[in-house]
């Protein structure tokens, strides 16, 4: 992994509180000059609509700063939300961390 990239691995739920925390973490990384961020969903058990909103806001913030955002290891529930909302066409979604390492 390069010095300009970071992996975030949240756990549990991405709901209003979890999404707020994730937005804060991504903003801090972007503000320090990180150019590529992977959010690893391997330990996420559930994401609700406010979590999806947080992920979209994160993508907007990252793109505004000219950085890149990747998601990986989405469980079936998160995949379904992404597909139903067509967000799977908007985000760069990878199967796992190994695939992310290959993109760098």
pLDDT recorded at residue 64 = 97
Q: Phi-psi category of 68—alpha, beta or left, where left has phi over 0 and alpha has psi -120 to 50?
A: beta
Domain 5-103 has CATH 3.30.750.24: yes
Interacting residues of 39 by C-beta distance below 8 A, sequence separation 6+: 7, 8, 9, 10, 22, 26, 55, 58, 69, 70, 71, 72
pLDDT recorded at residue 3 = 86
Interacting residues of 64 by C-beta distance below 8 A, sequence separation 6+: none
Per-residue confidence of the chain (104 residues) as pLDDT tens digits? Answer: 678 999 999 999 999 999 999 999 999 999 999 999 999 999 999 999 999 999 999 999 999 999 999 999 999 999 999 999 999 999 999 999 999 999 88
pLDDT recorded at residue 1 = 63
pLDDT recorded at residue 70 = 98
């Amino acid at each position: 992994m390069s010095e300009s990239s970071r992996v975030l691995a949240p756990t549990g739920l991405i709901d209003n509180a979890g999404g707020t925390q994730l937005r804060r973490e991504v903003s801090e990384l972007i503000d320090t000059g990180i150019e590529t961020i992977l959010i690893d969903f391997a330990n996420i058990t559930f994401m609700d609509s406010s979590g999806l909103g947080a992920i979209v806001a994160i993508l907007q913030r990252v793109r505004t700063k000219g950085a890149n955002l990747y998601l990986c290891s989405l469980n079936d529930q998160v995949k379904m939300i992404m597909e139903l909302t067509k967000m799977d066409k908007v985000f760069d979604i990878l199967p796992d961390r190994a695939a992310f390492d290959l993109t760098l």
